[in-house]
Amino acid sequence: MGIKLVALAALFWGVSGGIAGILTGNGWDPLVVSFYRGAIGLVFILGWLCLRPRYSGLRKSRLWFWGVLAGLGIAGNFAFYFYSIVESSVAVASTLMYCAPIFVYLLSFLLGIERPTTVKYGAILLVLLGVVLLTRVYDVGGSGVTLWGTAAGLLSGLSLALFIFGFKYAVPHGSAPAILTIAFVTLVTVLAIASDTLQLGEVLTSSDGWLFALLGTFGGGVAFVVYLTGLKRTPPALASIIATIEPVSAALFGVVLLGESLRPIQIAGMSLILFTVTALGVYASRSRH
């Protein structure tokens, strides 16, 4: 059951990238799209907290510190991911975001939490090569992926790494619903301040409202609840493999429904990134046992 839940969450996240591609293509600002993904998602997370109110840890200051840090990370992840979609494509943006585990390792190296090894350095170099092939940065003006699109995609991965760090260090101080509640309240607050107020209001009467509802429900709320529930029953190595459903489903959504296309060398780069990150997750999981 755990495997199915993790797979379902990855699928929801992948499809949410495609929905965001439609919304940004319709002229909605990425910050506004990110805000509603988080705001609607927060409703479901609050519901989860109400169902599991015990041992929340909401009175602990350390839970709030790490929860807010996680919230800043997920806010950046949502926003940069959608900006990357605008400047590149759903397939490219989702794959660049999938580089998050590499940033986790780099941060761990800097903080002295993880010990650098030849395998880890090799994985980082392979992912960098994959990024070069995927974005075709060597083909100035002809790749269809702007420098900002590449940077935003990588920043979305870095932001996701920040969320992972914040969530990891918050876990000893409270429950998952409580951590996500703090994180999403932080997300909504930050993006409300940063977003175009006029567009925020226009969403409520827009014909695209149902797309925002889908994005927030499945890409913001349900996916996180389902994923964390399934992760408890799924070995980390297997979860790393299943997680590839997200960028693959996002890429298929972009190609089939949005008319996006990838050149063979970009597909090679995408495959290299997905394979390397997945293999690194399996390696890390086995090395801990």
Taking only the tens place, the pLDDT of each residue in 91-105 is 889 988 988 878 877
Q: Pinpoint the alpha helices (H) of 88-117.
A: 90-97, 100-111
The answer on pLDDT for 31 being more than 60 is: yes
Q: Show the DSSP H helices in 112-235 as ranges.
A: 118-135, 147-170, 176-194, 197-203, 209-214, 223-231
Which residue would you say has higher pLDDT here, 143 or 118? Answer: 118
Domain count within the chain = 1
Q: Which residues of 218-246 are buried (b: 16+ CB within 10 A; e: fewer)?
A: bbbbbbbbbbbbbbeebeebebbbbbbbb
pLDDT at 12: 93
User: What amino acid occupies position 153?
Assistant: G
Tokens (6 digits) for 45: 């997370």
Mean pLDDT over all residues of the chain?
Answer: 88
* pTM of the predicted protein model: 0.89
Contact 98, 280 (CB under 8 A): no
> What one-character DSSP code corresponds to residue 263?
-
Mean pLDDT of 213-237: 88
Non-local (6+) Cβ contacts of 96 within 8 A are 84, 88, 131, 134, 135, 150, 153, 154, 156, 157
Confidence (pLDDT) at 257: 80
CB atoms under 10 Å from CB of 171, counted, come to 14
Query: What residue numbers bound the domain in which 86 lies?
Result: 2-287
Sorted by sequence, the CB contacts under 8 Å of residue 119 that are 6+ apart come out as 280, 283
